[in-house]
């Protein structure tokens, strides 16, 4: 079955879809437009990747177009989406352990079940305090979420990766942490408002706090504040983090950054809480 037909059928099985469509053609047009927006692609760039004309891409995105998307182009769009997802989520930090490169090769070859099986075996075999464990747990989550973004197993691995952060002082620890936090923060931003987004935000916030307690780097407090603002978590949590940063860096410096950076927009119009002044 062509890829977008599968996606349309899957959408039809949802009990409460985020959007309802009048036709499969409207769904396909919206799907392609969302793909371009998600990865910041112009119509020209997508045309190059799909080896079609710009006019063809424009027709794909026009819900009034009567010309259906050919099956081979639907499958090409599936491959493009997968390649873009891997490039935006997966980082081969060097030196890269052979087992992670093997997982990468399996994901690139569209062998998700094999990647999931290898990841599960490696996690069971690796000692709890191995410095590579957080990154392995992160990749195990990727192996599941690339196949099913709503995978419960992916969420469990991702949360385990966040809990494991902060316990390693290996030379690549900071780079590994940035890889994990960056990828999971991007996932947070794609979640709709609701309990799942709140849970994800709390796990990310806790990880940033543990990393700060380990290294005492103000950057982790800024990361925690951005998570609190973007999730969003409670106003009290935002105010407390703002107050902690003011104690570390001074009120003027913190206010200047909050006013200039859209990541902290939630705090701009809010009064400073008493906890931020003490």
Asked if 185 and 212 count as a contact pair (C-beta separation under 8 A), the reply is: no
Give the tens place of pLDDT for each residue, 65-80.
888 899 999 999 999 9
DSSP letter string over 184-214? HHHHHHHSPSSHHHHHHHHHHHHHHHHHHHH
Overall number of domains in the chain: 2
Give the tens place of pLDDT for each residue, 227-269.
999 999 999 999 999 999 999 999 999 999 999 999 999 888 6
**CATH (domain of 212):** 1.25.40
Instruction: Give yes or no: residues 49 and 176 share one domain.
Output: no
SS3 261: coil
SS3 151: coil
Instruction: Provide the domain limits for residue 58.
Output: 3-86
Instruction: Give yes or no: residues 258 and 163 share one domain.
Output: yes
Last residue within a domain, chosen from 86, 109, 127: 86
Last residue within a domain, chosen from 86, 109, 137: 86
Q: Predicted confidence band at 277 (pLDDT cuts at 50, 70, 90)?
A: very low
pLDDT at 208: 92
Distance separating alpha carbons of residues 130 and 164, to the nearest angstrom: 10
Read off the pTM.
Answer: 0.76
Instruction: Give yes or no: residues 47 and 120 share one domain.
Output: no
Instruction: Give yes or no: residues 103 and 67 share one domain.
Output: no
Q: Predicted confidence band at 149 (pLDDT cuts at 50, 70, 90)?
A: confident
Instruction: Give yes or no: residues 52 and 181 share one domain.
Output: no
């Amino acid at each position: 079955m062509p890829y977008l037909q599968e996606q349309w059928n899957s959408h039809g099985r949802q009990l409460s879809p985020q959007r309802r469509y009048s036709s499969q053609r409207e769904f396909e047009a919206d799907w392609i437009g969302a793909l371009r927006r998600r990865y910041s692609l112009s119509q020209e760039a997508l045309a190059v990747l799909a080896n079609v004309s710009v006019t063809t891409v424009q027709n794909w995105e026009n819900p009034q177009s009567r010309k259906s998307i050919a099956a081979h182009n639907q499958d090409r769009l599936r491959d493009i989406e997968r390649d873009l997802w891997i490039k935006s989520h997966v980082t081969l930090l060097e030196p890269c352990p052979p087992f992670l490169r093997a997982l990468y090769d399996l994901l690139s070859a569209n062998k998700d079940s094999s990647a999931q099986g290898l990841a599960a075996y490696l996690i069971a075999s690796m000692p709890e305090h191995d410095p590579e464990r957080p990154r392995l747990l992160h990749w195990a989550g990727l192996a599941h979420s690339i196949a099913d973004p709503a995978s419960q197993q992916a969420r469990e691995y991702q949360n385990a990766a966040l809990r494991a952060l902060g316990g390693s002082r290996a030379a690549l620890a900071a780079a590994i942490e940035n890889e994990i936090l960056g990828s999971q923060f991007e996932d947070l931003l794609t979640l709709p408002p609701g309990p799942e987004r709140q849970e994800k935000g709390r796990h990310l916030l806790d990880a940033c706090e543990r990393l700060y307690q380990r290294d005492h780097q103000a950057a982790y407090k800024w990361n925690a504040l951005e998570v609190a603002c973007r999730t969003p978590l409670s106003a009290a949590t935002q105010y407390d983090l703002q107050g902690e940063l003011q104690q570390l860096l001074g009120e003027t410096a913190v206010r200047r950054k909050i006013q200039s950076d859209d990541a902290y927009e939630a705090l701009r119009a809010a009064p400073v809480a008493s906890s931020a002044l003490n």
